[in-house]
Chain A
């Protein structure tokens, strides 16, 4: 019963949130609330306001309607806009309202933003203006009043969500760091250990498996997921490891030698705490490995009289050419400038062989440092 009450309260709360604002449109002389507007695309809404009356759709031009809005909060306002060859009145999607108001306009072959500042300045913010100035440069000029935001202008994307976030933060002058696509190189040191699975060769219990250290090098990409603190991280790294074990089994010496050369590709979800200089992060995900050299040799040595005889045992243990596993880790990024960062990271990884024949798994941890370009 208690849970039912909570569910009913939550439903009421979300209903209120969804329907708290109704569709409306305004003319110079009147405001019509509680009307039903047809929700078109940005392209359609920039040209016409469509009001549903019974079965009929009444279309109003930007010269007739001053402003209209939907219950989801999106608002379109009628503004006189100057284009290269003419000027006309259109509906602009108002993305952010405040000290700086941000508008978006979508028409055939046009996707652009407009900025209104202090009710005195109203300018278009194209990707590049007539003076070939990049939009980020124009934004730096417009947001000088809040240095924390001005610094982020170089990383802002020419997209509604990204631009809105920047202007919202300018209006409240809150520092903002935009995650952006990164790629680069890294070097590191990796400790790797063989881990025989439970069903394994009888000799495996006689070996003392320990970690082998080796260098690893690679390249990475880090792609932000929307404009959140989450990103999709992936890299390709090369590493080489050699293992040599020796044991005595029933008066026979047994040598087990493994040489592995691998290309490793992790796909991690990374969460970063974004700040202006240092951004610590944690990450976890799946890993695929291609062992393009997976040499396994096992020799038995027996002694008869004065003869020492070496025999290669049946290859009944294996490390798959392709391995899959999971990993997790963390690190910290240091921002050198608006684009380049250096980072230090560690990760712990477990990889599994999918062979049916006494598979050997791999456990490793690595420390890497790298640079994004």
Chain B
């Protein structure tokens, strides 16, 4: 019985250690969004993934992804490619898949964004080389 208790404590401790949450950025009063990665699933499909650490104090009235052509557009001159509108404040992550063609071999930079009544927050950027062409929407 004594050994059983000790082993049970050990197993629980292992389980607890394994389930312990990763550290995240400190809380902010605006939506803090980080781009997590890009999945290039097939020739014509590119999926962007973003993680929202904190939603902030204000309603999110729009969120999505914005992109720029690294060679042609300077930093921050972004074009929205995936606008997904308002969302709940408990959103943890979001994704968007581009299905239109991209220019093969062209280097792009993508950022996730969240928009509130006060500001727009752009995530860190991810640069990737895409296999297909893309029809930009209007500048954000």
Residues of A with Cβ closer than 8 Å to B? 185, 187, 212, 214-217, 238-240, 242-246, 255, 257-259, 295, 299, 303-304, 306-312, 371, 373
Contact = CB atoms under 8 A, between A and B. Distances in A.
B119 A187 contact: no
Given A185-B10, A242-B23, A309-B76, A217 B119 contact: no
B139 to A, nearest CB: 13
A356 to B, nearest CB: 26
A187 B9 contact: yes
Nearest to A293: B22
Interface string B109-140: 00000000011111111000000000000000
A215 B16 contact: yes
Contacts of A373: 3
A257 B17 contact: no
Contacts of A245: 26
A246 B119 CA distance: 21
Contact of B120 (A308, A312, A371): A308
A187 B26 contact: no
A219 to B, nearest CB: 9
Given A242-B23, A243-B23, A246-B26, A215 B119 contact: no
Interface in B2-17: 3, 6-7, 9-10, 13-14, 16-17
Contact of A310 (B13, B76, B124): B124
User: Across chains A and B, which 4 residue pairs bring their CB atoms closest together, nearest first?
Assistant: A242-B23, A255-B25, A246-B26, A312-B124
A244 B118 contact: no
Interface of B: 3, 6-7, 9-10, 13-14, 16-18, 20-26, 30, 32-34, 76, 118-125
Would you call the interface of chain B mostly helix, strand, loop, or mixed? Answer: mixed
Contacts of B30: 308
Contact of B23 (A187, A238, A244, A310): A244
Contact of A214 (B20, B120, B123): B20
Contacts of A309: 76, 121-122
A255 B10 contact: no
B23 A258 contact: yes
Given A308-B121, A310-B33, A310-B34, A242 B22 contact: yes
A239 B17 contact: yes
Contacts of A185: 6-7, 10
A244 B26 contact: yes
A139 B127 CA distance: 76
A215 B22 CA distance: 14
Nearest to A212: B23
A255 B76 contact: no
